Amino acid sequence: MVRASARIAIATAVILPTTGCTTPTAIESWRSSLEQYVTEQGHGDLNVLRRTDRPPSESDFGLIGATTAGFPFIAPRRTDANGVLLGHRNIADRSWFVYLVGLVEYRGWFVNWALDKPRVTDIRLIALSELDGEFTWITSEPDAVALERYCRPQRQQWQQSDPSRAEATDAPCVFPTDADVFRITVDQDAVRVVDRHSDAAWKLAENLFLRPPRPPASPRPSS
């Protein structure tokens, strides 16, 4: 079980749109940043992510400005990708690092970022492994039900804190929070994660972790 607390982003970057190129999604930018961290800090060894001699709050990986949009001084918008390392598990005979990654959007008006009302737009369960020098990623599909459940307690608390907000629908939602209590389980069907605070749940089907068999080697030509 992982209880979220004050968290530290161990890597930050700003990805700016480039004319003529396809802008990566926030999840893609986060994954690329994590791969770069493993390559540079761990020389390709995923065990650098374990950090077992450090507090749990430093086992997380955040990317500020995973995507940006708008113009610098007219309605700027950015999305941060905040990853929580839930654990290291052996699944289908391979070692996997399992993260829950939340995308938090900030919208600005003219010259100011609207930092007072962040909005979580997506939360994904992501697993990372390495084999023969290559990274393997498995990412869950978007889950609107889990997202709504996760944000509901924050919305209720925000509405109850001020009577004028009782009917408001623009409540802020952040990820992660100090109230998060994540529990990860691995069974025969899936990897499952439940936030015991909000009852939000995510899963990755077990069959996604099965590596396709390698094609048989071609017979050597007879001499």
Q: Determine the Cα–Cα distance for residues 144 and 154; give it in Å rounded to an integer.
A: 16
Residue 103 confidence (pLDDT) above 50: yes
Say whether pLDDT at 201 is over 90: yes
pLDDT band for 96, please (50, 70, 90 cuts): very high
Q: Measured in Å, how far apart are the chain's first and last C-alpha atoms?
A: 60
What CA–CA distance (Å, rounded) separates 209 from 138? 8
Joined together, the tokens standing for residue 105 give: 């959007």
Are the C-beta atoms of residues 2 and 182 closer than 8 Å to each other? yes
The average pLDDT across 11-38 equals 68
Give the residue-averaged pLDDT of 88-115. 79
Tokens matching residue 94: 């391979």
Q: Tokens 């999840």 belong to which residue?
A: 27
Strands 190-195 and 181-186: antiparallel
Nearest to 85 by CA among 53, 120, 127: 127
Residue 29: pLDDT band with limits 50, 70, 90: very high
Name the pTM for this structure: 0.78
Determine contact, residues 134/46, Cβ cutoff 8 Å: no
The average pLDDT across 178-196 equals: 91
Could you tell me which residue, 145 or 107, shows the higher pLDDT? 145
Task: Give the mean model confidence (pLDDT) for residues 84-112.
Answer: 85
178 Cβ contact list (under 8 Å, min separation 6): 4, 5, 6
pLDDT of residue 114 exceeding 50, the answer is: no
C-alpha to C-alpha distance for 200 and 180, rounded to whole angstroms: 10
Is pLDDT above 90 for 4?
A: no
CA dihedral 23, 42, 99, 176 (to 10 degrees): -80
Q: Would you list the domain boundaries of the chain? A: 2-209
CA distance 132 to 47: 15
On the question of a cis peptide bond just before residue 176, with omega within 30 degrees of 0, the verdict is: yes
* Ramachandran quadrant class, 133 (left: phi over 0; alpha: psi -120 to 50; beta: rest): left
Show Cβ contacts of residue 128 under 8 Å, excluding neighbours closer than 6 positions: 31, 34, 46, 96, 97, 99, 135, 136, 137
